Chain A
Amino acid sequence: MTELFAVWWLMPLFAGMLLAISAGPLGSFVVWRKMAFFGDTLAHGALLGITFGVLADLNPTFAIILGSVSLALVLLPLQYASRLSADTLLGIVSHGTLAIGLVALSLADGVRVDLMGYLFGDLLAINEEHVLWLLASTALTLLLISVFWNALLAVTVSPELAKIEGRRVAMLDLMLIILLAFTVALAMKVVGILLISALLIIPPAAAHSLSRSPQQMAIVASLIGVISVALGMWASFYWDTPAGPSIVVAAMGLFGLSLLVQRKN
């Protein structure tokens, strides 16, 4: 695969774009279902995954995914718990796992982990293995979301109506959460734990004013994400700024532009 990426910056660019492509439709669902905080929590859980991965000597990417997916499964019932204050509970779990992860990492003897890399991303240091993970996860995400598009959208619009009409609401919710957990886990290397939600939310928000249907919004969000990655990486080379935050700044810029377009219409 190395020959494919003869120019050294092609691999990170490719990785960032893959992530942006799956973040488009997934992020749209996150926006529609008001799950932004949920994505943050999954990212924080992924950090805890790294700690356990280091202690148990697991493959780090696998450990991150494991951490994020298991947290997703634990938090799944929260979606239905309307009487509990889900917001507060998510906040506790989210920041709790982040803190526990940081504390555990510092306690783990003789372990050197690039904490800044996980918090803010380290796109330029991305390796082939990570790209392969991203490729697999993006393919799976696009496949499942397009096959179950109508069902996922129906459950998003009204779980009650979907259930009465005979859709398998719990199964669909689970699928979306697991795909989200995968993407969040793999996004860590690209934009970092602290900025993952930005990559999920800003492109769909920018796409919203340009779209007339949910399908359009998901696709335009992917495109805006891809452009943000390209712009952000370019800026990062040109001004020597960190890649992850530069990508988010680029996405913010595009969001601003989308607001101008909206005003015109």
Chain B
Amino acid sequence: MLKLSDGRMSNTLLLKANNLSLSFRQKKVLDDISLEIHTGKIITFIGPNGCGKSTLTKVLLGLQKTHAGKITRKRNLRVGYMPQKLQLDERLPLTVRGFLRLTHGCNHNEIDGWLERLNIKPLTNSSVHNLSGGEWQRVLLARALLVKPELLVLDEPVQGVDVQGQLELYQLIPQLRDELGCAVVMVSHDLHLVMAATDEVICLNGHVCCSGHPDTVSADPAYLELFGRKLNSPIAHYTHHHDHEHCSADHAHGDHQHD
């Protein structure tokens, strides 16, 4: 049994996953994955589409069961989750404030503060249906922050955000980590974008291909094998490497920015 201490020490173990495995229709989506998440650390899952990033995130959040393996969480771990995509029914008339007020256990007085912090204060009373992709991402981030997370999980946080917005968001994440003293788990398909903002990279392709500091990972043969070598432009998107033996890609769970 894992002993998890309480309190805000800089190195508290928040979550520990042992030997997670999951298959959909005989295809291994997660293959023997183990990892630890500690307070104050930013971990990025990176890997080609359909190779388990989003699934692993859902498993860690407890939204998806695994066929094998074990997850131990700190007691009453508060998790803030920013989903990759959230589509609301158009017939639901909801303002940004109305949406944020739905956060379970949030203090309604804190809503304005976060809206201010994330530069979306003027949108407070706008309909959630009239927001741009970037604005909606910030609203979702605000909702994740309102739970006062000890663990912040961001699934493709810059999807639909313009380049300027992406840089801002990646600058913001380490700041938020420092302010809240939380751990951050991010899902990304592009290492170069997140490199400066992350402490540890886990490169996934069903199994953990390689992991460690971003500099180490970007030089790792397994990483280069997975992503090809065309990574010289600072905001280059990776080339999908269809020949790789593991990547017969189950595209069924929402990763869909093919380049």
Contact = CB atoms under 8 A, between A and B. Distances in A.
Given A32-B89, A166-B104, 7 more contacts: A34-B89, A160-B83, A165-B147, A208-B91, A208-B93, A212-B93, A217-B92
A20 B62 CA distance: 39
B89 A165 contact: no
Contacts of B95: 212-213
Contacts of A151: 104
Interface of B: 61-63, 79, 81, 83, 86, 88-89, 91-95, 98-99, 101-105, 143, 147
A167 interface: yes
Interface class of chain B by DSSP: loop
B81 A160 contact: yes
Interface centre among A31, A153, A161, A213 (most CB of B within 10 A): A161
B91 A205 contact: yes
A151 B101 CA distance: 10
B104 to A, nearest CB: 4
Contacts of B61: 164
A191 to B, nearest CB: 22
A53 interface: no
Given A163-B63, A164-B63, A214 B93 contact: yes
Nearest to B25: A83
A154 interface: yes
Given A31-B89, A158-B83, A160-B81, A167 B94 contact: no
26 contacts: A31-B89, A31-B91, A32-B91, A150-B102, A153-B102, A157-B92, A157-B102, A160-B81, A160-B83, A161-B83, A163-B62, A163-B63, A164-B61, A164-B63, A165-B104, A165-B105, A165-B147, A204-B91, A205-B91, A212-B95, A213-B93, A213-B95, A214-B92, A214-B94, A217-B92, A217-B93
